Amino acid sequence: MKEDNKASDRSYLDTTLPFEERVVDLVGQLTLEEKVGLMSHPAKGIPRLNIPAYNYWSEALHGVARNGRATVFPQAIGMAATWDKDLIKKVASAISDEGRAKYHAALKRNGYTDQYQGLNFWSPNVNIFRDPRWGRGQETWGEDPFLTGELAAAFVKGLQGNDPKYLKTAACAKHFAVHSGPEKERHTFNAIVTKRELYDTYLPAFKKLVQDADVEAVMGAYNRTLGEVCCASKLLIEDILRGEWKFKGHYVSDCWALADFHLNHKVTKDAPESAALAIKRGCDLGCDHVFDEIPEAIERGLITEEDVDHALERSLLSRFKLGMFDPPDQVPFTSISMDVVGCDANRKLAYQTAVESVVLLKNKDNILPIKPTTKKIFVTGPNATSTEVLLGNYYGFNDQMVTMLEGITGRIPEGMGMEYTTGAMLKHPREIKETWAPGMAQSSDLAIVCGGFSSFLEGEEGESLLSPEDGDRHSISLPASQVNYIKELAILGTKIVLVLTGGSPIALGDVEDMVDAILFIWYPGMEGGRAVADVLFGDASPSGKLPLTFPKSLDQIPAFDDYSMAGRTYRYMEKEPLYPFGFGLSYSQFAYNDLKLEKEKIELGDSLSVSVMVQNIGAITAPEVVQFYLSDLEASTIVPIHHLIGFTRVMLESGEKQKVEFIITPEMMSFFNDDGKLTLEPGDFRLEVGGCSPGKRGQDLGAPKPISMNFTIG
């Protein structure tokens, strides 16, 4: 270590040098104790070098989280329902603006930044939502690897910014890999998948974020995959992430996952062995205190100080890219002021995102939007006045949250009557048997029942009130308290609009037939009430599409701990769902016509240009999400029944037509073989274009009739 600490010897402060060279210089000036102090999420300060303490653990799943005031956007699964990449990038850019402002304010106030005040955002979660019981599915972008990758890549680009030198914030793809419940077993579970399933389902989104979005960090999962702990997996970290994909960023453990090595997975004997294994396999930053045992690991000969240097260089490089060692006037984001936090522009963006996330699942006799001739409405249900259902998990706070009742109250036209009562509890039976609710419903033209789940009934390990030991759901049905209340209203002939909150599919059973309309609004963020009200009254047409399949019941899907994709998601599920992937109705109607292929037979390795005409045949201007699906009809191994290869949002006036063009690449026509290798074979393929995933169920529910054509690879 250099002992001369004159500024002239500190090349790491020379902003004309490459970051990589500066990092090496800094690490070379540190003692082993100082190095170790920088390798856990609460990185210690180094006073002699004027380096303040810094905490890597910050969250930004759908807004700056757990750090006071922020704009609260819809939960990630709700953002996924927009199918709007441009919007998602704008949301993430707004989040990173607020994160930057709050970081510099905390640094100025305290001289350092504590947990949740930093610029390393441990988002997005790109695990595949393969099972509706998983409580953390709400954090994801759905069940489809392609959709997840496309939307999450836009999110990462928005978070990290487009400056050629500096990162605005540092995004993190988590949890690598093959991780989606059960929550209570995550510290001991070994996920078993085939190489084909690994590459076909569980890895594509991570690859997209690494190679297309240049994500700065990757977080390892708690569990084992194919026998190896994910935070020290040769296959996942060495062979795939850094080998095949050439990832150059840093790898961080999930919190307390390194302690699981010796305490739960039993792959090491103690903390020094766990620290050594993680360092040797490429985990650079620990979200716990296991890396405090690095000196003992070195003494035992398990690793060398050079191994430690390589790991520290990767994590410190992120801090250099964030401008933490450079004069503020040279870093373009340091001037973002606190005025941006919760500003009007960001509120409007939260509103737009909430509107676009609303999925209309049913609209019998076009009962929605609410007609101007309606005399009186009845607002009821356990979630009508709930702020909790706006939040999701990993949330920030805002003093202007708009509940459903507040949103409807602000929108209802003068002269239209309205009454309200809770009517039912979220999950418990009513304590008071007698209620005025049926009478209020009978005297109204329409009952708007606000029900579903809250983020406190599903979530991470330890979060759920339904299952506090894990956070998952052991039933996906609407709670009996709500079902009984809806029956109580329906038996009187009340017309019911059911507004459902939730982060995952809800099996409705008989309720689906009892109600006239269903809006699924996820956890819609601070502007949720206003957005939903505007959809109810027709100021905006619903355009959200489901980013996952809603099964009719748990009987339709395999065991929760079975990670095989057989029978799961729209790609491999052969049973008829309640609501299919990609489904969502509009207040208008659309027609798909004139599908054209450049050729009906192409050579192996060629791309194929296609076009389709989409027309709004309804009476109002409305957006539609055009979806492209491909089926390989002659593959030599198991392949998806059909899979999403492209999508785009179009806004069409009544009667307007638009030609949508698309290119099918050889990679889209390929599949992963049993060895996990991308394979392109000759044979017949079917392309289907429409407003929902292929299948009779979507059309039965009112989705536009899709259009399809076959082509051949010769």
Helix/strand/coil for 672: strand
Phi, psi torsion values for 472, nearest 5 degrees:
-80, 175
Q: Identify the pLDDT of residue 433.
A: 82
Average pLDDT rounded to a whole number, residues 202-212:
98
pLDDT at 549 over 70: yes
Provide the whole-model pTM: 0.97
Q: Which domains does the chain have, with CATH numbers?
A: 22-340 (3.20.20.300), 358-548 (3.40.50.1700), 590-713 (2.60.40.10)
- Catalytically active residues are 254, 458
Residues 6+ apart with CB under 8 A from 700: none
Tens-digit pLDDT profile for residues 396-417: 999 999 999 999 999 999 999 9
Q: Is the peptide bond before 175 cis (omega within 30 degrees of 0)?
A: yes
Query: Using 50, 70 and 90 to split pLDDT, how confident is the model at 432?
Result: confident
Closest CA to 65 of 52, 75, 54: 75
Contact call for residues 566 and 675 (beta carbons, < 8 A):
no
Share of the chain above pLDDT 70, in %: 98
Q: Is 468 exposed, middle or buried (0-12, 13-18, 19+ CB in 10 A)?
A: exposed
Q: Mean pLDDT lowest for which of 32-46, 366-380, 448-462, 538-552?
A: 448-462
In the predicted structure, residue 4 carries a pLDDT above the cut 80: no
Rounded to whole angstroms, how far apart are CA atoms 271 and 102? 35
Which pLDDT band, with edges at 50, 70 and 90, does 468 fall under?
Answer: low
Average confidence (pLDDT) over 337-347: 98
Amino acid at 18: P
Q: Higher-confidence residue: 433 or 608?
A: 608
pLDDT (mean) for 466-478: 85
Q: For CA atoms 20, 24, 30, 33, give the dihedral sign.
A: positive
**Res. 217: pLDDT tops 70:** yes
Taking the C-alpha atoms of residue 96 and residue 499, their distance in angstroms, rounded to an integer, is 31
How confident is the model at residue 466, as a pLDDT?
67
pLDDT digits (tens, 9 = 90+) for 253-310: 999 999 999 999 999 999 999 999 999 999 999 999 999 999 999 999 999 999 999 9
Burial class (CB in 10 A: 0-12, 13-18, 19+), 455: buried
Task: Output the pLDDT for position 225.
Answer: 98
Structure tokens at 583: 């489904």
How sure is the predictor about 365, in pLDDT bands with cuts at 50, 70 and 90?
A: very high
> In the predicted model, what is the mean pLDDT of residues 426-448?
93
**Mean pLDDT, rounded, of the chain:** 96
Judge contact between 369 and 536, C-beta under 8 A: yes
Q: pLDDT of 124-134, one tens digit each? A: 999 999 999 99
